[in-house]
Amino acid sequence: MPGHGFRGNPRQLWNAFRWSMLGLRAGWRHEASFRLEAMLAVVLIPLGLWLGQGALEKLALVAPAFLVLSAELLNSAVEAVVDKVSPEFHELAGRAKDMGSAAVFLLLVLMVLSWGLVLGARFL
């Protein structure tokens, strides 16, 4: 049907994929927190797919890991830009970094809560 589907050309799609892979590689190479959370995700994602009973439980166990990784990458991007623009300490720069860190923390709490609710309901 006209007007639906991907409007770009295959090269644009390939470039978007390539840039995403470069971003993942940069996160892995330069961010210890991302490496730690990625290693946790490598364990939790398959475990969540195995332990979850039904699609919604699987999603509740797996999705928070992807959200944590995504937020960590965004937080790292904010930190890199802040450091580039304002290498000396500034209250607003510190606030931006702290708020990015808080976003990652909240998603980690969501992950613990999701696992606790799903597994707790099953075993209690």
| 61-90: pLDDT as tens digits | 999 999 999 999 999 999 999 999 988 889
**Within 13 Å of residue 49, how many CA atoms lie on the same side as its CB?**
6
Whether 6 shows a pLDDT value over 90: the answer reads no
Task: Please tell me the predicted confidence (pLDDT) of residue 10.
Answer: 87
Question: Catalytic residue among 31, 72, 79, 91, which?
Answer: 72
Assign domain 10-123 to a CATH class.
mainly alpha
Q: For all residues of the chain together, what is the average pLDDT?
A: 92
Average pLDDT (47-74) is: 97
Amino acid at 39: M
Segments making up each domain of the chain, as ranges: 10-123
Q: Measured between alpha carbons, how far is 24 from 18 in angstroms, rounded to an integer?
A: 10
Whether 121 shows a pLDDT value over 90: the answer reads no
Task: Please tell me the predicted confidence (pLDDT) of residue 3.
Answer: 53
Q: Is 72 a catalytic residue?
A: yes
Highest mean pLDDT among 10-14, 24-28, 88-92, 120-124: 24-28
For residues 108, 74, 97 and 92, what is the CA-based torsion angle, rounded to 10 degrees? Answer: -140
Task: Please tell me the predicted confidence (pLDDT) of residue 2.
Answer: 54
Q: Could you tell me which residues come within 8 angstroms of residue 63 by beta carbon, excluding any fewer than 6 positions away? A: 114
- In this structure, how many other beta carbons lie within 10 angstroms of the beta carbon of residue 62? 20
